[in-house]
Structure 1
């Protein structure tokens, strides 16, 4: 039997290496009906570009909390802290993850938490010849390393982990849509959009609310007809957009 009450579908990977998924927590705090069906998963890559000795590195740059987690798994972090490497993060949540390892975060964009904004911020402090290490996902865009390379930096961007579709959850996804008449789908990465399209080729006529313009563009290109991008690029902002949508639906 179809449920007529709107519901939010969370497609993020299972907690993204933390005990509690931050988006799920934000939606629950707003008392919003939701279901979490992880469509992607991250895993460490054994073969990646060699990471230089920290004493040869000027800047260590993180573009996601996942990158922080896998860097911590791979490296002896205390040596990097002792080397006094400058550290940059793409936004406050990533900065929190970095700080939890004991690093001091020297820089992150003030308003827009994207690779482009981080590149602009770094351009003001990185000098030609500086060695910059950017641990990343295999699927990460090349915007940041290309930008810094063009400005004379020596960029090392090892793909230390990768994101894959959780195809084993395709059945749960199909069952979910059979049981719900309408709602909203949340996406926090292009990888989640691609995984959804792979598992659900006939897209439902549900709006897609995304964290940031890059993910929103991926949703539009996948075929979603109603796409919204939360700004700033935070889980709290995304949850607020979902709440606004739910309120609009409930008052119609």
Structure 2
């Protein structure tokens, strides 16, 4: 039974947004674990509608369109009322982002093997020409690494905030109850914003004491850095930055 259900008995907190949690929770169940969905973030279309419409109306003036997340793809195409037959060359970060793009009927021209912004810029640099124009569709909390690096190499970057990542304060009581009653064995963090919002929602409580009994799993180095900034120990961080790899590495961690 343990081999087939390696996470049996493990109560695993899923902190990602509600609309993203189901697939992750289903995989946890497949391995015998119990997912506890407490979405610490929520997403909505950015309020800067005039800027979004203006940039989208000039799509044919860009050489590259960049997406760093599934959310960026979803909100961009939601705002794109008329789907053109041809878009600029498209660069994406991560297989999930590429999957979302394929669902919209388009294929990425560039998908780096390293699923973070640094991987994208390093792969793009040799392909760039001085003066290339980029439209980066991103969330309000995304890092500035990509636009900064592309500008260093002569790129002209329009940095378009297409969606907002908000703190989900409505989950505060549930989160605190799970923690204080020791009902969690594992916490999964899939972005720096889930980390920051977690710390905000448990502020003033003995959360560091609670975490001593809990294994911390993060999706990749950027999220790990956010955890380390709060001096939170990380027990599992996969080399491939996907939720599937998070669970695979967690299972390996428990087998040691």
The TM tier, using the shorter chain, reads 0.7 to 0.9
Task: State the partner residue of 1:105.
Answer: 108
Shift of 1:181: 5.3
Give me the whole-angstrom Cα distance separating, in 2, the residues matched to 1:227 and 1:158.
35
For structure 2, list consecutive stretches of 5 or more residues without a partner in the other structure: 1-8
3-state SS of paired residue (1:169): helix
Give the TM-score, by structure 1 length: 0.88
Shift of 1:120: 0.8
3-state SS of paired residue (2:157): strand
Give me the whole-angstrom Cα distance separating, in 1, the residues matched to 2:92 and 2:183.
40
1:63 aligns with 2:65: no
CA contact (8 A) 1:89 1:105 kept: yes
Give me the whole-angstrom Cα distance separating, in 2, the residues matched to 1:104 and 1:226.
35
Task: State the partner residue of 1:216.
Answer: 224
Matches within 5 A, 1:1-40: 5-16=9-20, 21-40=22-41
Matches within 5 A, 1:45-84: 45-47=46-48, 49=51, 50-52=54-56, 53-76=58-81, 78-79=83-84, 82-84=85-87
Task: State the partner residue of 1:120.
Answer: 122
3-state SS of paired residue (2:77): helix
Distance verdict in 2 for CA 1:181–1:104, change over 3 Å: closer
3-state SS of paired residue (1:117): helix
Structure of higher RCO (CA pairs closer than 8 Å, 6+ residues apart) = 1
Give me the whole-angstrom Cα distance separating, in 1, the residues matched to 2:94 and 2:28.
21
CA contact (8 A) 2:11 2:186 kept: yes
Instruction: State which of 142, 145, 148 in structure 1 corresponds to 2:144.
Output: 142
Q: RMSD of aligned C-alpha atoms?
A: 1.8
Give the TM-score, by structure 2 length: 0.87
Give me the whole-angstrom Cα distance separating, in 2, the residues matched to 1:57 and 1:171.
46
